[in-house]
Amino acid sequence: MPVLDLEIGGGEFITMAGPCSVETEFQLLATASHLCRSGARILRGGAFKPRSSPYAFQGHGLEGLKMLARAREQSGLAIVTEVMSETDVPMVAEYADILQIGTRNMENYSLLEAVARCGRPVLLKRGMTARISDLLRSAQFILDNGNPNVILCERGIRTFETAMRNTFDVAAIALLKQISHLPVIADPSHAAGHRDLVPALARIAVAAGADGLLVEVHPNPDKAWSDGDQSLDFDGFDDMMADLAPWLALRERTLPLREAVGSRSLEAVG
Ligand code: PEP
Ligand code: MN
């Protein structure tokens, strides 16, 4: 799947990284400039934030999109950012290279229809209570409405387990790679909920066959306006990337995971 000069789901493992929320120009530009030197290819950052509390920071909106565009200019990184409302889709598509559909909107069909028609690739996050078949149905809805460029994202699901923020469904990554031709990205940050666990989940995602990662990184996580607990600082990001290298090298020596495509059909998951 082409995004600027990148190919997602091709030979290169693609890391998307950046803050949960776009906060200040300084925060974003400092993060982008560090990330592009440390191997990330796409900058993430929310300008529209779906928050559990109405009193929490809701994002800078258009101002945040403009900051993202300036960060792309300065760093060369492509931009992925969330869109929450169908009326905002044309505006977000003007600034972003990939539109993110958040977990809370995976089944918002008017939003899915709008992103299907926007001409940009879509990063579709799995709903926190969605089955794999539900995720694939939402992806199919976008495809059927004219946009073949859908990236699936496993970000953890809700289970009875409360030790982590979510339960990272690593089997979903392996299964999606078998039954779907779409690229699969893993988000270890929202799955873990705590930064200490993020590198381990990232390694597991590589082993399961993910095409890339979506990771939260902040210059000063303890001061982050959202999701600080699960955000890596710059050194933490560099350590994670260094740790991933041997796992990626190991994967290249194993049978190409793509060979399994088509061996199980969508019917296999209902
Ligand atoms: C995010 O990426 O910051 C986010 C809100 O993700 P999710 O929709 O998976 O909770
Ligand atoms: Mn977040």
Quick one: pLDDT at residue 51? Answer: 85
The type of residue at 90 is P
Q: If you measure from the C-alpha of residue 102 to the centroid of ligand 1, how many angstroms do you get, rounded to a whole number? A: 5
Residue whose CA lies nearest to ligand 1 atom number 6: 102
* Residue 89 per-residue DSSP state: H
pLDDT of res. 267:
72
Atom of ligand 1 nearest to the CA of 156: 9
Side-chain-facing half-sphere of 59: CA atoms under 13 Å: 21
> Which ligand is nearest the CA of 225, by number?
2
In the chain, DSSP assigns E strands to 2-3, 6-7, 14-18, 42-44, 78-82, 98-101, 122-125, 150-154, 184-186, 212-216
Q: How far is CA 225 from CA 27, 138, 175, in A?
A: 11, 30, 35
CA 141, CA 62: separation in Å to the nearest integer?
27
Q: What is the pLDDT along the chain (270 residues), one digit of tens a residue?
A: 999 999 999 989 999 999 999 999 999 999 999 999 999 999 999 999 988 888 999 999 999 999 999 999 999 999 999 999 999 999 999 999 999 999 999 999 999 999 999 999 999 999 999 999 999 999 999 999 999 999 999 999 999 999 999 999 999 999 999 999 999 999 999 999 999 999 999 999 999 999 999 999 999 999 999 999 999 999 999 999 999 999 999 988 665 555 555 556 667 787
Kindly report the number of other CB atoms within 10 A of residue 148's CB atom: 11
The tokens for 51 are: 């928050």
Question: Which residues have a Cβ under 8 Å from the Cβ of 216 and sit 6 or more positions away?
Answer: 17, 18, 19, 20, 44, 189, 190, 227, 230, 231, 232
Q: What residues are in contact with ligand 1 under a 6 Å CB criterion? A: 20, 46, 50, 102-103, 125, 155, 190
Q: Which of 107, 125, 158 to mutate to test the pocket of ligand 1 (most atoms within 8 A of CB)?
A: 125
Angle 202-170-214 from CA coordinates, rounded to 5° = 40
| Residue from 23, 51, 58, 82 whose mutation best tests the ligand 1 pocket (most atoms within 8 A of CB) | 82
The pocket of ion ligand 2, defined by CB under 5 A, consists of: 20, 227
Closest atom, ligand 1, to C-alpha of 153: 9
Distance 227 CA to ligand 2 centre (A): 5
Nearest CA to ligand 1 atom 9: 103
Give pTM, 2 decimals. 0.95
154 three-class SS: strand
Q: Please tell me the distance between residue 261's alpha carbon and the centre of ligand 2 in angstroms.
A: 31
Tokens of 6: 């990148």
